[in-house]
Amino acid sequence: MIKTTGLVKKYGRVAALQGLDLEVPNGAVYGFIGQNGAGKTTTIRILAGLLMPDEGWAELAGRNVVRDPRGVRQVVGYMPDFFGVYDDLRVGEYMLFYASAHGIRGAAAFKLRDDLLELVELGTKREAFVDTLSRGMQQRLCLARSLIHDPAVLLLDEPASGLDPLARVEMREILRELCRMGKTIIISSHILSELADLCTHVGMIREGRLLRQGPLNEMLAGDRVRRFILRCIDQEEEAAGLIGGWPGADVSNTGHGQVEFSLAGDAAEAAALLKEIVGAGTRVTHFAQTEQSLEDTFIQLAREVNGA
Domain map of the chain by residue range?
A: 2-219, 226-291
Find the mean pLDDT for residues 37-54: 94
The 3-state secondary structure of the chain reads CEEEEEEEEEECCEEEEEEEEEEECCCCEEEEECCCCCCHHHHHHHHCCCCCCCEEEEEECCEECCCCHHHHHHHEEEECCCCCCCCCCEHHHHHHHHHHHCCCCHHHHHHHHHHHHHHCCCHHHCCCEHHHCCHHHHHHHHHHHHCCCCCCEEEEECCCCCCCHHHHHHHHHHHHHHHHCCCEEEEEECCHHHCCCCCCEEEEEECCEEEEEEEHHHHCCCCCCEEEEEEECCCHHHHHHHHHCCCCEEEEEEECCEEEEEECCCHHHHHHHHHHHHHCCCCEEEEEEECCCHHHHHHHHHHHHHHC
In 10 A of CB 193, how many CB atoms? 10
Please report, for residues 113, 126, 130, 204, 219, the alpha-carbon distance to residue 118 in angstroms, rounded to integers and kept in the order given.
9, 10, 16, 34, 35
Q: Are 116 and 156 in contact (CB under 8 A)?
A: no
Find the mean pLDDT for residues 250-265: 91
Phi, psi angles (nearest 5°) of residue 20? -80, 130
Q: pLDDT over 90 for what percent of the chain? A: 64
Find the mean pLDDT for residues 73-98: 88
pLDDT at 300: 66
Per-residue pLDDT at 183 exceeds 80: yes
pLDDT at 223: 47
Q: pLDDT over 70 for what percent of the chain? A: 90
pLDDT at 222: 53
Q: Are 270 and 283 in contact (CB under 8 A)?
A: no
Find the mean pLDDT for residues 52-67: 94
Please list, in sequence order, all residues whose beta carbon lies within 8 angstroms of the beta carbon of residue 307, skipping any fewer than 6 positions away.
none
Per-residue pLDDT at 308 exceeds 70: no
Rounded CA separation 114/126 (Å): 8
pLDDT at 304: 60
Per-residue pLDDT at 155 exceeds 70: yes
Per-residue pLDDT at 301 exceeds 70: no
pLDDT tens, position by position, 221-253: 654 568 899 999 988 999 999 999 999 999 989
The hierarchical CATH code for the domain 226-291 is 3.30.70.920
Q: Which of 9-18, 224-233, 256-265, 288-297 has the highest mean pLDDT?
A: 9-18
Rounded CA separation 86/92 (Å): 12
Task: Give how far the C-alpha of residue 166 lies from the chain's centroid of Cα atoms, to the nearest Å.
Answer: 18
Rounded CA separation 5/59 (Å): 9
Tell whether domain 2-219 is in CATH 3.40.50.300: yes
Find the mean pLDDT for residues 21-29: 94
Exposure string of 253-292, with b = 16+ CB inside 10 Å and e = fewer, is ebeebbbbbbbebeeebbeebeeebeeeebeeeebeeeeb
| Strand-pair partners of 213 | 203
226-291 matches 2-219 in CATH topology: no
> How high does pLDDT run on average in the chain?
89
Find the mean pLDDT for residues 276-288: 95
